[in-house]
Structure 1
Amino acid sequence: MLVEATADAEAGALLGGLVGALPALADAAVGVDAADARRLWAYRELHTESVGRVGVPHKLDVALPLPALAAFVEQVQVVLAQRWPAAAPWLWGHVGEGNLHLNVTGVEPGDEDLDDAVLRMVAEAGGSISAEHGIGRAKQRWLPLVRSSEELALWRAVKQAFDPTGTLNPGVLLPN
């Protein structure tokens, strides 16, 4: 977990104390200046590259209510192990916002059964099937899991009002 405090030195000291007080934390690094922060961020940015070296990842971008995040992380690992024994989940994100990037190696990158299983778990936990990267065409079929028919009808009405000929991003988010 990478946590950054942009306040004063007192906030940094408090954060360092909290890290030291977590008994389950086996390894930690606390940056004390701008150079440390740059090194830690550079390390974090290599995460995606590291996953790619293991295999082509199946990628999902979801958001969950904070109280549901820990249970979801546990549940998704159990489901992946049961249904896709070769699966290796890689999880990271913006935890304070409930945003979770789930990359899975050891499975087919386009496995829609995996998408279906994970996105249904997200919806059941009260989450969003897309956090940062949008619905697009790829997640259209799962949109009714998290949006009511009334909401979808309203979205269609707004789209029709602003784009009556359907020339702007045809088939993206809402099917034609």
Structure 2
Amino acid sequence: MIDAASLTMILDRNFGIIQRQIKDITHEQSLIQPPFRGNCMNWVLGHLVMSRERILIMTNQPTLWTEEQRQRYERNSEPIVDGKDALPFEKIAADLVTSQERIQTWLKNAKPEDLDVKIIPHGIPAPEPDPIWDWMEFLLWHEAYHLGNLEMLRQLTGMNDKVI
């Protein structure tokens, strides 16, 4: 079992890197598509917030997005190509901050038995329930996976900097 302090450390590390990767990115820049199979920064960051929505749901906290908004950034959703159906990048970034605060607070107050509650997260096909700690660890690993996407997408905007 991974404890709340370890989950918080991973959450905070991911959040810090995300904040550095999205710093000074405009909504228009967030819509730049990579020249290879992939998606824009708007979708990737939205996908991360959507994933955090799962954590909010599994910990019985208020969510930030409607089901329609979550679906737009769900795995296998269509690429965002013109921004008509994209959320404003500034909103996505602000919602990431709010999700960070809510998840941190929940983890700070979580008892070991809270982390041991077995669940199937919203929108994830799973054969059987697993403990919240296991799903949180998976979703935070998933978040870390996408950090590299953000780094490349940042460079596509012309930033030409080294963030990490």
**TM bin (shorter chain):** under 0.3
Structure ID, larger Rg: 1
Query: RCO greater where, 1 or 2, for CA within 8 Å and sep 6 or more?
Result: 2
Structure 2 length normalisation: TM-score? Answer: 0.22
Structure 1 length normalisation: TM-score? Answer: 0.21
